Homo-oligomer: A and B are copies of this chain.
Amino acid sequence: MTKSKAEGALKELGQKLVRDIEKGKNPSIEFSLRGLSNVVFDEKTKKLALGSKEATRTFFNVGHAKKFLQTLEVAKVSKNLLDVEKHASLRDVFYMAKRTIPDSSINIVDEQTETDKSIEDLELITDFSREQLNINANKMGSVAGKVVVEDKGDTIDWSKLGSGGWSIPSNVEEIEFKKAKAKYVIYMEKAAVWERLHEDKVWDKQDCIIMSSQGQTTRGIRRLLQRMNKELKLPIYVLTDFDSWGQYIYSVLKFGSISLAHMADQLAVPSIKFLGITADDIERYGLQKHFIKLTERDISRMKQISEYEWFNKNKAWQNEFKKMKQFGAKAEIQALSSKGISFISEVYLPEKIKNGRWID
């Protein structure tokens, strides 16, 4: 279904260009301008979005010609992938698009950043995500919980996968939720914390789903979280360190990211709640002795984040930033281990969820 729609959008792009040529017009592609200058925070949807600035790329323009060609080449690669029902990584697409223009010494692309940008352009032009265009992001992360999904003809029970859990694919578009017995989802940035919660059977005892990546949240994970929120109607909690990097992970999941503002509708979950370490937790659980001094880089990142439109009117968050500045320190989620290996599973999480001690 999605496949034929995405193919349709690519065909429409080709046909539009053919019409331009037949009319003797300069072939052109129009789409929203990407980049910070055209990113807005939509107060109504509480998501980042692109503003109204448009970009036009025309073929007979020395400054545009190469990008024009790159965009079309990537569209061709995507069309071929959809035709054979296979998926490629960003790196694959780069190599598939990289060829020398006949009778010249010019390569269509020289660097992966060029195809990456073309793929983002194509998302804007077609209104399909790169996953729907059969181009995959990185694969990362694990999940466990009382959920049964169907994927590629297999029925997979996330509660019966031993200590490993299900390995989350880069592309989660085709996964179907068959059964789910869960009250909420906890997403954490660290695989080690996931293993802690998994060994303690938190998903079983608390009827929840536990999910992690390692570091940056991949698109596959963001999309899967959004689908669980929409389709399974589950609240999502984010569990991170008390630092700017953890807070930004939450920010991206909730509001969208600046570089993928055009994808916020398919990736962001505005109702997400922050369940990571807060200034209040530091005091409540006596984590001061595990403080890690803020570096210059931490301080400038904190300042930057605190000024984001979606944070600077939020009292709870402004209080976090103020306290972090006062402390002159950050703290890690694993500092909770100093209070006992399963303190996080048996005290921290149940207490915070029961008493609604999250930040919205």
Q: CB < 8 Å: which of B88, B91, B99, B161 contacts A341?
A: B88
Number of copies: 2
Please report which residues of chain A, range 91-108, place their CB below 8 angstroms from some CB of chain B when the two chains form the complex: 91-92, 94-96, 98-100
A98 CA to B140 CA, complexed, in Å:
31
Assess whether A251 is interfacial by the CB under 8 Å rule: no
Q: Are B160 and A332 in contact (CB under 8 A)?
A: no
Q: Are A175 and B162 in contact (CB under 8 A)?
A: yes
Q: Which of A68-76, A148-156, A261-269 lies at the interface with chain B?
A: A148-156
Residues of chain B with a CB closer than 8 A to A163's CB: 151-152, 169, 171, 174
Binary contact readout A127-159 vs B (1 if CB under 8 angstroms, 0 otherwise): 000000000101111110000011111111000
Contact with B along A162-182 (1 / 0, CB 8 A): 111111111100110000000
B156-A167 in contact (CB<8A):
no
Q: Does A87 count as interface, using CB distance less than 8 angstroms?
A: yes
CB of A312 to closest CB in B, whole Å: 32
Cβ-defined contact, B341 with A92, below 8 A:
yes
Residues of B within 8 A of A139 (CB): 142, 191-192, 194-195, 214
Chain B min CB distance to A188 (Å): 12
Classify the secondary structure of A's interface with B: mixed
Interface residues in chain A, defined as those with a beta carbon under 8 Å from any beta carbon in chain B: 80-81, 84, 86-92, 94-96, 98-100, 136, 138-143, 149-156, 160-171, 174-175, 191-192, 194-196, 199-200, 214, 289-290, 332, 334-338, 341-342
A218 to chain B, nearest CB (A): 10
Given contacts A86-B341, A95-B290, contact A161 B165 (CB under 8 A): no
With A195-B89, A290-B95, A337-B92 known as contacts, the answer to whether A161 contacts B170 (CB < 8 A) is: no
Known contacts A95-B334, A156-B160, A162-B175; A136/B167 CB under 8 A:
no
Query: Would B171 and A161 count as touching, CB distance under 8 A?
Result: no
B175 touches A168 (CB 8 A): no
Q: Point out the residue from B95, B141, B168 that lies within 8 Å of A338, measured CB to CB.
A: B95
Cβ-defined contact, A138 with B88, below 8 A: no
Which 9 residue pairs spanning A and B have beta carbons closest together?
A151-B162, A89-B192, A167-B167, A142-B167, A92-B337, A163-B169, A139-B191, A95-B338, A164-B167
Query: In the complex the two chains form, what is the Cα distance from A194 to B170 in whole Å?
Result: 11
